Structure 1
Amino acid sequence: MDLSVSPHGPLRTDRPDLAAYLAADAVVDHDHPAIVALAAELRRADPVRTAEAVFEHVRDRIDHSADVGHWSAAYRASDVLAAGNAICHGKSHLLAALMRANGIPAGLCYQKLDVLHGLNGVLLPGSPWWVRLDGRGNRNGADGHFATTPAEERPAWANDPALGEHHYTTVYATPPRELLDGLRDGVPGSVGYGYLPLELPDRD
Structure 2
Amino acid sequence: MKKYLTPSKYINFEDPSILSLAKHLAKNCFNENEIIRKCFEYVRDEIKHSSDFKLNPVTCKASDVLLHKTGYCYAKSHLLAALLRANGIPTGLCYQRLSVGDSGEAPYCLHGLNAVYLQGHGWYRMDARGNKEGVNAQFLPPREQLAFPIQSKNERDLPEIWAEPLEVVIRSLESYKTYDQVLANLPDVDLIG
Structure with greater strand percent: 2
User: In the alignment, what sits opposite 1:76?
Assistant: 61
* Aligned-partner residue type, residue 118 of structure 1: G
Pick one of 147, 152, 158 that aligns with 2:140.
147
Pick one of 167, 177, 180 that aligns with 1:177.
167
- 1:120 and 1:136 map into 2 onto residues whose CA distance is 10
Aligned length: 182
User: In the alignment, what sits opposite 1:45?
Assistant: 30
- 1:171 and 1:117 map into 2 onto residues whose CA distance is 13
- 2:157 and 2:171 map into 1 onto residues whose CA distance is 21
- SS of structure 1 residue aligned to 2:65: helix
| Structure 2 segments unaligned to the other structure (5+ residues) | 100-108
1:84-107 Cα offsets, whole Å, 9 max, x none, are 011100100000000000010001
Q: TM-score, normalised by structure 1?
A: 0.84
- Tell whether the 8 Å contact from 1:71 to 1:190 is kept in structure 2 after alignment: no
Q: Cα offset for 1:189?
A: 4.9
Counterparts in 2 of 1:65 and 1:189: CA distance versus 1, 3 Å = closer
- Tell whether the 8 Å contact from 1:168 to 1:203 is kept in structure 2 after alignment: no
1:111-155 Cα offsets, whole Å, 9 max, x none, are 01122100001102x234101000011114211110322xx1111
- Tell whether the 8 Å contact from 2:168 to 2:188 is kept in structure 1 after alignment: no
Counterparts in 2 of 1:173 and 1:82: CA distance versus 1, 3 Å = same
- 2:125 and 2:178 map into 1 onto residues whose CA distance is 29
User: In the alignment, what sits opposite 1:156?
Assistant: 147
Q: How does 1:82-101 map to 2 (within 5 A)?
A: 82-101=67-86
User: In the alignment, what sits opposite 2:4?
Assistant: 21
| Structure 1 segments unaligned to the other structure (5+ residues) | 1-17
User: In the alignment, what sits opposite 1:193?
Assistant: 183
Q: Give the ranges of 4+ consecutive aligned residues of structure 1 lying more than 4 Å apart after TM superposition.
A: 201-204
- SS of structure 2 residue aligned to 1:42: helix
Q: TM-score, normalised by structure 2?
A: 0.88
Identity of aligned residues (%): 36
User: In the alignment, what sits opposite 1:116?
Assistant: 110
- 1:67 and 1:193 map into 2 onto residues whose CA distance is 11
- 2:122 and 2:82 map into 1 onto residues whose CA distance is 20
Q: Cα offset for 1:202?
A: 4.7
